[in-house]
């Protein structure tokens, strides 16, 4: 399997496709990421149309098992972040 794009390659590709400088592409990416963090924290979700949705979810407390000893333990409730792929993205990637 091929290795994915690193940040530098991503910035170069974005700059080329948008007809902008690498610095402007980097600023665009930073603004998008910052906006995603703030909106997900404030509202609980952030959607990038055609790609997916970043969601803040509450996970309930549950019983688990310590893998080293086999002893049952109580796992406390906590908030987690999930990314849910859009159907269009799944279809495009998997076809």
Same domain (yes/no): 36, 48: no
The answer to whether residues 68 and 23 belong to one domain is no
Backbone angles phi and psi of 87, in degrees to 5: -60, -40
Specify whether 49 is located in the same domain as 8: no
Same-domain status, 14 and 59 = no
31 lies in which domain range?
A: 1-43
pTM over 0.85: no
CATH of the domain at 57: 4.10.520.10
Residue-wise pLDDT for 34-44, tens only, equals 999 999 999 99
On whether the CB atoms of residues 81 and 55 are closer than 8 A, the answer is yes
Q: What's the domain count of the chain?
A: 2
Q: For residues 64 and 51, what is the distance between their CA atoms, to the nearest angstrom?
A: 33
Nearest to 80 by CA among 51, 58, 48: 58
H-type alpha helices, 1-95: 7-18, 22-43, 87-94
Based on the fold, state whether residues 36 and 82 are members of the same structural domain: no
Q: What is the pLDDT of residues 44-92, one digit of tens each?
A: 999 999 999 999 999 999 999 999 999 999 999 999 999 999 999 999 9
Do 34 and 2 share a structural domain? yes
């Amino acid at each position: 399997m091929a290795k994915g794009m690193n940040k530098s390659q991503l910035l170069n590709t974005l700059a080329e496709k948008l007809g902008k400088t690498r610095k402007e592409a980097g600023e665009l990416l930073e603004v998008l990421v910052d906006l995603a963090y703030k909106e997900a924290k404030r509202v609980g979700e952030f959607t990038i149309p055609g790609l997916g949705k970043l969601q803040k979810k509450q996970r309930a407390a549950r019983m688990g098992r310590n893998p080293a000893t086999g002893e049952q333990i109580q796992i406390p409730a906590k908030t987690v972040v999930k990314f849910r792929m859009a159907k269009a993205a799944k279809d495009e990637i998997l076809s």
